[in-house]
Amino acid sequence: MIRNILIKFKNRLFRINDEEPLSKLSLCVIIALDLFILFVVFSGLHEHTRQLTSPAETVPSECRDVFVQENWTESNRISKLQTLVLSDYHQYSYPHTRRFDPSRIQKMHPLCEDVLLKIKAIAEDKQIFDLFKQREKLEKAKAQVSSGFQQSKDVYDTSLLENMAESDSGQSRLPTISDSMKEKSRQIESFNSRILTVENQLNSDDKIRDLWAFIREGDGGRRDRLVKDINQSEFWYPFKELLWQLVFLLPLFFLFYVWNVRSIRKNSNLQVLISAHLLVIAAIPILFKILEVVLDLIPRHFFKKFFELLTALHIIAVWHYLVILASIGVALLAIYIIQKKIFNKHRLQLKRLAKGQCYHCGKHLPPDAGICPFCGASQQTDCPFCDQRTFTAGDFCTRCGKGLAQEGVEKT
C-alpha cells in the first residue's frame, strides 16, 4: 500500500501522465521553480522567526555585561558607558538596528529595560553626549602620542646600547631622542589631566550618578534571578521557535496538499505535476527544523546529565559515535525499503524490457533475440493461459493480454 502510494507520487513528480513523459527542458524549468520557491520559503521563514523574541534580545549583551559578568567597575565604567552612548553615532551603515530603539528595549527583561532606559536618557542629553565625544577625541590623541612615545623609547634603548658599545652614531642621537620622549611624556600627562577633568564632569551629572547607583544597588539576589530567567528562556526558546516556524510552514504545506488533491480529482495533469513538486518543497524545511530539534536540542535538554557525565569523563565523542551509528542504521533501513519495496528487482526488469535490454544483465539485445547473447538468459516463457510465448519480465501476456501474476507467475 505504502509502496504504491510512493510510486504514484514519484510518477507525478517526473511525468505528466502515463502516455506523456516529462521533457528534460520542462524538468529543468520545474527544478528552477523548486529552487526559487525553496529560497523564498527559507527567506520568509527567517523573517517570520525574527518576530519571535530570542533570549539574546530579552537579555542583550550589554545587560549581561553589567549584571551577569559584572564587568562594570569604577575604573572602566566610564569607558564602557562611552561605548554605549556613542554606539549609534558610530553606526552609519544602512540599515541597522539602533541600540536605543524603543521596539528593541520593549522586548528586554525588566532589569535590562531599566538600565537601558537610563543609558538612553544619558545618550539623548546633548551636553553629556558632547562630553563623551570630547573624551573619545582626547583618548585617540593620547593613544597616538603614546604610540610615538613607545617608538622613541625603543629607539632610545637601541641607541643607548650602541653608545655602551662605543658607537659614535648612537651617542649623537641620545639627546635628541631624550628631548622627544620628554615632550611626548608631557603631552601624555596633559591628555590624562584633560581626560580626568571630563570624567569628573561626567560623574557629577545627576543622570550618570543615578545610573551608577542603580548598578550598585540590589539585595544580592538580583544577578541570580536574572541568570535563572536567562536559563529558563534559553531552555524553552528552541521549542517555541519550532512551533513558531511551524505556524509559517504548515499552512503552506496544507495549501499545496489541497491543491494537489484537487488537481488529482480534476485530472489536471500539469497542476498535479507542479503541486507535487511544491508539496515536496514545503515538506523540506518542516523536516529540516524537526530534525534539528530532535538530533541536537532535545538530547542536550533532556539528557543533560548524560552529557555532563560524558563531558566530565572527557568522552563526549561517544555521543557523536552513537549518532553516526544511528544514522547508518537509518540509512541502511531506508535503502532496504527503497530497493526491496519501491525500486525492486521486478521494476528494474520492466524498465530494461521497455528499453529493449536483457532483463537479467541489462545489455542491449539484438532485434528479435529470444536469448541474451551476453548472459544466456531466456527472454521469453510460456503463458499459463494460452501456452504462447511471451516476455519473461512482462506483467501481461503479449498474445492473450492476461496478467501473468494472476496465475502465480513469480516476479522477483
Looking at the predicted structure, is the pLDDT value of residue 409 above 60?
A: no
- Structural domain tally of the chain? 2
Least confident of 88-92, 169-173, 194-198, 292-296: 169-173
In a domain, 175, yes or no: yes
**Mean pLDDT of all residues belonging to the chain:** 82
In a domain, 93, yes or no: no
Looking at the predicted structure, is the pLDDT value of residue 407 above 50?
A: no
In a domain, 14, yes or no: yes
Least confident of 24-28, 43-47, 92-96, 260-264: 92-96
What is the average per-residue pLDDT within 16-23? Answer: 65
0.85 exceeded by pTM: no
What is the average per-residue pLDDT within 306-317? Answer: 79
- At 166, the pLDDT band (50, 70, 90 cuts) reads low
Question: Do both 192 and 248 map to the same domain?
Answer: no
pLDDT given at position 265 = 86
| pLDDT tens digit sequence for 43-92 | 999 999 988 999 999 999 999 999 998 889 888 999 999 999 998 888 77
Question: Do both 226 and 200 map to the same domain?
Answer: no
pLDDT given at position 110 = 93
Question: Do both 230 and 297 map to the same domain?
Answer: yes
Write a three-state SS string for the chain: CHHHHHHHHHHHHHECCCCCECCHHHHHHHHHHHHHHHHHHHHHHHHHHHCCCCHHHHCCHHHHHHHHCCCCCCCCHHHHHHHHHCHHHHCCCCCCCCCCCHHHHHCCCHHHHHHHHHHHHHHCCHHHHHHHHHHHHHHHHHHHHHHHHHHHHHHHHHHHHHHHCCCHHHHHHHHHHHHHHHHHHHHHHHHHHHHHHHHHHHHCCHHHHHHHHHHHCCCCCHHHHHHHHHHHHHHHHHHHHHHHHHHHHHHHHHHHHHHHHHHHHHCCHHHHHHHHHHHHHHHHHHHHHHHHHHHHHHHHHHCHHHHHHHHHCCCCHHHHHHHHHHHHHHHHHHHHHHHHHHCCHHHHHHHHHHCCECCCCCCECCCCCCECCCCCCECEEECCCCCCEEECCCCECCCCCCEHHHHCCCCC
pLDDT given at position 65 = 92
End-of-domain residue from the set 204, 236, 267: 204
Question: Do both 250 and 178 map to the same domain?
Answer: no
In a domain, 341, yes or no: no
Domain that residue 286 falls in: 2-50+222-302
What is the average per-residue pLDDT within 332-344? Answer: 68
End-of-domain residue from the set 248, 275, 302: 302
Question: Do both 232 and 270 map to the same domain?
Answer: yes
Question: Do both 226 and 298 map to the same domain?
Answer: yes
What is the average per-residue pLDDT within 124-152? Answer: 91
In a domain, 20, yes or no: yes
Least confident of 124-138, 172-186, 370-384: 172-186
